[in-house]
Amino acid sequence: MHCLCDKTLKLTYADGEGHCGYQCQSCGAIWLPRKFVQSIKHTYHFSYTDFIANRTPVEREVSQLCPDDGHTLTDYTLFEVNFSECACCGGMWFEKGELHNLLQNYQRRSSNISALDKLDFLNLLNF
Ligand SMILES: [Zn+2]
Ligand SMILES: [Zn+2]
């Protein structure tokens, strides 16, 4: 898959914005295949069904094309965050920082490391 900013740039697997996806090393945009969007629920208190129901379509003059299958992407907004979705494969396109902003609206599930363990860890490092 290639970035929408430059068709010669390859998207690479990364999890720089709080969730894994395919990111452009040049412009920082992230592509999340539908499975990746659905898997957000494992890390955050996130419901894919609610997400799909609550987002609002946005009119845009120039539409971008899906990096995966070339279908036209539809633009949406939710929590003042903008993203595009492919009606064909359900993948989602986030410009740099947008995925991070979206995830700010969901509470992160507690990880295996408890807050107390983290404090102990910081003590060890003499913070
Ligand atoms: Zn790019
Ligand atoms: Zn697609």
Determine the distance separating the centroid of ligand 2 and the alpha carbon of 93, expressed in angstroms: 10
Q: What is the CA radius of gyration of the chain?
A: 17
Say which ligand is closest to the CA of 70. Answer: 2
pTM of this structure: 0.84
Taking the C-alpha atoms of residue 80 and residue 119, their distance in angstroms, rounded to an integer, is 34
Q: Which contacts of 51-58 are long-range, i.e. CB under 8 A and separated by 24 or more positions?
A: 51/78, 54/78, 58/82
DSSP 77-115: EETTEEEEEETTT--EEE-TTHHHHHHTTSPBPP-SS-H
Say which ligand is closest to the CA of 23. Answer: 1
Say which ligand is closest to the CA of 4. Answer: 1
Say which ligand is closest to the CA of 64. Answer: 2
Q: Which residues pair with 44 in a beta bridge?
A: 108
Determine the distance separating the centroid of ligand 2 and the alpha carbon of 66, expressed in angstroms: 5
pLDDT in tens, 101-122: 999 999 999 865 555 555 555 5
Determine the distance separating the centroid of ligand 1 and the alpha carbon of 16, expressed in angstroms: 15
pLDDT in tens, 16-68: 799 999 999 999 999 999 999 999 999 999 999 999 999 999 988 888 999 99
